[in-house]
Chain A
Amino acid sequence: AQTVTQSQPEMSVQEAETVTLSCTYDTSENNYYLFWYKQPPSRQMILVIRQEAYKQQNATENRFSVNFQKAAKSFSLKISDSQLGDTAMYFCASPNQAGTALIFGKGTTLSVSS
């Protein structure tokens, strides 16, 4: 079965600092997307960033960027200049083999303090 592994259950960082959340995944596909979602206490899952596996360039969205290592099947999320509003649970996700669902990791709880 395909798996997505997030090895850091909790992370803490102070405002303005940079933090990296790790994720490894398992797939036999060549072309696929990878996603990071944010889930604040409101429960709403919000897409943070996505990476297309056939693109070598790492995706960037404002303060959020990824370090995508296809051969190692690693997909980490870097948050620069952390803000209090970044406090949330972060989930890494990859599609299942059929492309009919996302497989999520167990999540990393990120706390940003002032």
Chain B
Amino acid sequence: GAGVSQTPSNKVTEKGKYVELRCDPISGHTALYWYRQSLGQGPEFLIYFQGTGAADDSGLPNDRFFAVRPEGSVSTLKIQRTERGDSAVYLCASSLKRGNEQFFGPGTRLTVL
């Protein structure tokens, strides 16, 4: 398991429901990032973790979005009261340390009906 993995690969939910998206970074990578990519656009930053702490969460669009990384490895992005506008591909990336090249997972495609 050399790369970044994300589960599920696809998630369909109804408006108003709660969802969790999981990211398993490359072993030993202390930096972890979440991005959101809408159709035909580049990824947009959501949140950055250094170890267990969220060092920069300035990209989270509102308080319905939250992410954790309790043991400094796996991270979960949580979205409450989902809205149709949350539909997008959610990408996770990790790097050995801040500023190094980021390695991306395959993403989770979230569809909110």
Contact = CB atoms under 8 A, between A and B. Distances in A.
Interface residues of B, number: 25
Given A45-B104, A101-B33, A101-B56, A96 B45 contact: yes
A33 interface: yes
B29 interface: no
Interface of B: 33, 35, 40-45, 48, 55-56, 59, 89, 91, 93, 98-99, 101-107, 109
A43 B43 CA distance: 11
* Chain A, interface residues (CB within 8 Å), range: 20 to 34
Nearest to B50: A100
Contacts of A104: 42-44
17 contacts: A4-B42, A33-B101, A35-B101, A43-B89, A43-B109, A47-B101, A47-B103, A93-B42, A99-B98, A99-B99, A100-B48, A100-B55, A101-B33, A101-B56, A102-B33, A102-B43, A106-B42
Contact of B91 (A4, A42, A45): A45
Nearest to A101: B45
Interface of A: 4, 33, 35, 37, 42-47, 50, 91, 93, 95-96, 98-107
A39 B109 CA distance: 15
Contacts of A107: 40-42
B106 A43 contact: yes
Contacts of B105: 44
Contacts of B48: 100-101
Contacts of A50: 101
Nearest to B34: A101
A106 B44 CA distance: 10
Nearest to A105: B42
A100 B106 contact: no
A100 B98 contact: yes
Contacts of B98: 99-100
Contacts of B102: 47, 102
